[in-house]
Chain A
Amino acid sequence: MSILDSKIPEGPIKEKWTNHKNNINVVNPANKRHIDVIVVGTGLAGGAAAASLAEMGYNVKAFCFQDSPRRAHSIAAQGGINAAKNYQNDGDSTYRLFYDTVKGGDYRAREANVYRLAEVSANIIDQCVAQGVPFARDYGGLLDNRSFGGVLVSRTFYAKGQTGQQLLLGAYSAMSRQIGKGKIEMLNRHEMLDLVLVDGKARGIIARNLITGEIERHSAHAVVLGTGGYGNVFFLSTNAMGSNVTAAWKAHKKGAYFANPCFTQIHPTCIPRSGDYQSKLTLMSESLRNDGRIWVPKKKEDVIAIREGRLRAVDLKEEDRDYYLERRYPAFGNLVPRDVASRAAKERCDAGFGVNETGEAVYLDFAAAIMRYGTEKATVDGIHNASETMIRELGEKVIEAKYGNLFQMYEKITDDDPYKTPMMIYPAVHYTMGGIWVDYNLMTTIPGCYAAGEANFSDHGANRLGASALMQGLADGYFVLPYTIGDYLANEIRTGKISTDLPEFIEAERAVKDRISTLLENKGSKTVDHFHKRLGKIMWDNVGMARNEEGLKKAIAEIKALREEFWKDVFVPGKANGLNPELEKAGRVADFIELGELMALDALSRSESCGGHFRDESRTDEGEALRDDENFAFVSAWEWTGDPSKAALHKEALEFNDIELKQRSYK
């Protein structure tokens, strides 16, 4: 078993990043012009990295599979972005954000990385405002904040329910500026299909032009993967339809270790599924838990009456409602972290209290907030003796100003008016904390190959706190990677242009073309989606919100069988030379099937519960996740050996010097 070198700098945690920046190599401006960097993915991490690297003078080639870099799925993030600005004077600090993130991640993240994240968080807000990102402001013209789960301060900056959109458009505008200057060559509708290594270093990629079908070779001195997470392994998730693991998985198969693949986040507030035809699930932002109260009926007979349509939620008396989060976790109430909230919803629904036909839904109720805001507004407006109707109207307007687009989204999907009746929600796959293993410099185990944002594993441990994904994506892209990559590239100034005619490029291209031919010539009998749905069901049933040894072993066997069947019986219509969405999907699903097996293996090997990874065998008497720090305070980094179930495990021990390891409690 090898020892992974995380390259964490020496010194006290507060000085590590500053010292590191002072000591790492830098490339002089004249030399940057001779260095090429490939950035795959144009979300917050990839987009921010591409723009920043181009500003510094590197020649950047950026790739995205969508028709424009502005479409990356970071755009769908709703609620907000955390930063330790302490504008609300509620005692926030870099340390507190660091502490909350490590604790929220159930002590499975790397301390030094998280501290750096908290440290640069304030710069992100400054940078975005300077770009013209229109964050929400109060009447004094200053920035407004809201609260998110798992913390006791208000540190989340937001732009209604479209924070991800505004931040991504900020990064996109920074990219646009560099594209206009010719410093970024933007390749839209291109998908990375392999990583090319020369003498053990990442030297380029093979990409498919999705319009012409042409297989292209692109070389560079370093390759950055900002390709997001792999939630779509579950088929149904809140990810975009195109979100996939292919780029990361190809890097994995070329030598990048994959860390903690079983750490997936099931988000508590999503619109419940409604039928088998469903293609994706839609998130309702966690910010709604600032004002929404979560409940189910106390009595089974009321549950049945609601399901049969004989009773309306609004008519159920206050004393007959079970606000189970407030009951179980009085300190954090409805704002417990996501993993806790999701398990609590599952517990109630498994016990038979789910409020829709499928039995998989709980209420998220805004009635109390509407009346509270309405009363406040009436007072502010100087309206005395306001009627209940008037208070309600005023309150609805306040709620609309805060969450209007989310309420509209809910109404369009469900045909229910959430101002008048509580929303129905249920947990769904949302984010993946696991990802490619990286060191402190964000370099993978392949020299010259970097991973940023959700694609890497480093900052969120076993559970990510709300509004921290945007923070990490932008921190990596704007403020970490542009510095740390210089340490590696400083040794590349004499390399010169890398030829794409090297045998390694020719061989990688041939392998990609062979695989495409295999898929197209297979002429099986089942569609790609057929296999994807079956994989999703295996994953959700056995590697979902609760896992156990028996289920995981079963999942591994089933996924293996599914993989064999896929390659024997998949049918991919169309041709290789031209736009062919089915072919794109086929390649992605083939990779998901391999990843799924590794996820199950990882979950099996970690017999403790931590964060989003809940093992039935490891729980406290109260049913909470029970960590096993003695045996599992490490990162599992898996090395590809030719078969996902035979992956080799490498362990990076996690040391906690600045935070005491404690059983997490939100009670």
Chain B
Amino acid sequence: MNLTLKIYRQDGPNSKGRMETYPVTDISEHMSFLEMLDVLNEQLVNDGKEPVAFDHDCREGICGMCSLYINGEAHGPDRGVTTCQLHMRKFKDGDTIHIEPWRAAAFPIIKDLVVDRSAMDRIMNAGGFVSVNTSGNTQDANAIPIPKVDADKAFDAATCIGCGACVATCKNSSAMLFVGAKVSQLALLPQGQVERTDRVLNMVAQMDEEGFGNCTNTGACEVECPKGISLENIARLNSEFLIASLKAEKK
């Protein structure tokens, strides 16, 4: 198929951005979206031009590195996939496709479609862990049985890949699905109990400091999340935060 691509380009962090138009031809429907961009880039390089910069790595939907706002949707029109898993069979011959970077105050643009998501790492550094040192002497893994329901829920929350689609798609640029997923995972497991209160308070404080917005229950994040992380995690984040705040006041 033949397509027209309208791509956001920006030379560097402080440059002005612009939309550029590129035609691509002979695109197979079996290609992934990023393979289609590879074709464009190969073409640009062959013409002596600079290729379009975009983040990607594993190309199987798990590393969370790829992003892209495609025709106004994070990770494009398909559901339950990242951009690297999106295939061209979801488009038609003659389509015009708009490709933009994630947009959020907390995600400054580095170049073209590449943004800086280190704010999410900093939230994790503030409390997204269990404080256990490496040793050969932790208790046996089966010492504490965990009800399968809790283990499964914790797992579902833990499948978040940290891509930032939830932030990009949210009108408030809220990171609460991302934060809620990590807070939920550890709140549901016995190993996370000791630091439960501090964790949620510290992570939320960092989230606010980074400039992410608040949640107004639109639910767009859940729809666009490539891993199907449920809004339930935001509800749990809110209740964990409330309980922790009350406990903290008592101290």
A residues whose Cβ falls under 8 Å from a Cβ of B: 48, 51-52, 55, 66-73, 75-76, 85, 87, 120, 123, 125-143, 159-160, 162, 164-166, 169, 172-174, 176-177, 179-180, 186, 188, 211, 240-242, 274-275, 277-280, 282-283, 408-409, 412-413, 415, 478-479, 482, 527, 529, 571, 573-574, 578-579, 581-582
Contacts and interface: CB of A to CB of B under 8 A. Distances in A.
A127 B140 CA distance: 9
A66 B63 contact: yes
B57 A241 contact: yes
Contacts of B236: none
Interface residues of B, number: 77
Q: Which of B61, B62, B135 has the most chain A CB atoms inside 10 A of its CB?
A: B62
Nearest to B28: A275
Contacts of A166: 155, 158
Q: Which of B49, B78, B155 has the most chain A CB atoms inside 10 A of its CB?
A: B155
Contacts of A211: 110
Interface stretch (B35-43, B166-174, B240-248): B35-43
Q: Which of B28, B57, B138, B192 has the most chain A CB atoms inside 10 A of its CB?
A: B57
Contacts of B136: 120, 123, 479
Contact of B51 (A129, A180, A282, A582): A582
A176 B57 CA distance: 21
Contact of B63 (A71, A177, A408): A71
Contacts of A68: 64, 117-118, 120-121, 162
Contact of B138 (A71, A126, A134, A578): A126
A72 B147 CA distance: 31
A312 B10 CA distance: 50
A482 B134 contact: yes
B205 interface: no
B191 to A, nearest CB: 5
Nearest to B31: A277
Contacts of A242: 57
Q: Which of B57, B60, B64, B141 has the most chain A CB atoms inside 10 A of its CB?
A: B141
Given A76-B63, A142-B145, A241 B56 contact: yes
A280 B139 contact: no
Contacts of B151: 134-137, 141
A164 B57 CA distance: 15
Secondary structure at the B interface, as helix, strand, loop or mixed, is: loop
Given A129-B191, A131-B132, A141 B146 contact: yes
Contacts of B140: 126
Contact of B129 (A176, A573, A574): A176
Contacts of A241: 56-59
30 contacts: A67-B116, A67-B118, A68-B121, A69-B121, A70-B64, A76-B60, A120-B136, A126-B141, A128-B141, A131-B129, A131-B191, A132-B186, A132-B192, A134-B189, A141-B145, A169-B158, A173-B124, A180-B127, A186-B121, A275-B30, A275-B31, A277-B39, A279-B35, A280-B59, A280-B60, A412-B61, A529-B38, A573-B49, A573-B51, A579-B110
Contacts of B134: 48, 51-52, 55, 127, 174, 478-479, 482
Given A126-B141, A134-B185, 11 more contacts: A71-B58, A75-B62, A143-B141, A165-B161, A177-B131, A188-B118, A188-B121, A241-B59, A279-B59, A412-B85, A573-B48
B65 interface: yes
A422 B116 CA distance: 41
Nearest to B147: A141
A48 B133 CA distance: 11
B158 A134 contact: yes
B145 A140 contact: yes
B89 interface: yes
Nearest to B160: A169
A75 B139 CA distance: 26
Given A85-B141, A132-B191, A165-B62, A412 B130 contact: no
Contact of B117 (A67, A139, A160, A282): A67
B216 interface: no
Nearest to A571: B45
A203 B132 CA distance: 31
B142 interface: yes
A366 B124 CA distance: 40
B12 interface: yes
B220 interface: no
Contacts of B117: 67-68
Nearest to A243: B57
Contacts of A139: 148
A277 B28 contact: yes
Interface in B84-119: 85, 87, 89, 110-111, 114, 116-118
What 10 A-B pairs are tightest by C-beta distance, nearest first?
A: A141-B145, A173-B129, A180-B125, A134-B155, A52-B134, A129-B141, A130-B138, A134-B154, A240-B57, A176-B124
Contact of A75 (B59, B63, B126, B128): B63
A315 B87 CA distance: 29
A578 B111 contact: yes
B5 interface: no
A241 B58 CA distance: 6
A581 B53 contact: yes
B209 interface: no
B165 interface: no
Given A123-B136, A408-B80, A277 B35 contact: yes
B239 to A, nearest CB: 19
Contacts of B49: 573
A130 B62 CA distance: 23
Contacts of B177: none
Contacts of B53: 579, 581
A529 B42 contact: yes
B34 A279 contact: yes
